[in-house]
Amino acid sequence: MDTVVTVAQIALGLSALLAIARAIRGPEIVDRIVAVDLVLLLLAAGVGSEAAISGSELYSAIAIVVALIAFVGTVLVARFVEWRDVP
């Protein structure tokens, strides 16, 4: 089980690097929001996978909270992007 989780977390980390690369390259702000949202979801998956070893519900709960923060952040910034040019 430890090996599986280690492999999973390395894969998630590499994916997050890819998403961060997209966040840096953009080119538009919406691309960056999509990428950062994805980074948070990958982070949630990484934390959640820890529960497979420890069996503790705390990790899954943290995963939910991170995913919800990602959602709220995305919605906020999307609204901001849409309305920042409106006088």
Site for another protein in 42-61 (CB under 8 A): 42, 44-45, 48-55, 57, 59-61
Binding to another protein by residue 69, rule CB under 8 A? no
CB of 47 to another protein, least distance (A): 10
Binding to another protein by residue 68, rule CB under 8 A? yes
Binding to another protein by residue 71, rule CB under 8 A? yes
Euclidean distance between the first and the last CA atom of the chain, given in angstroms as a whole number:
56
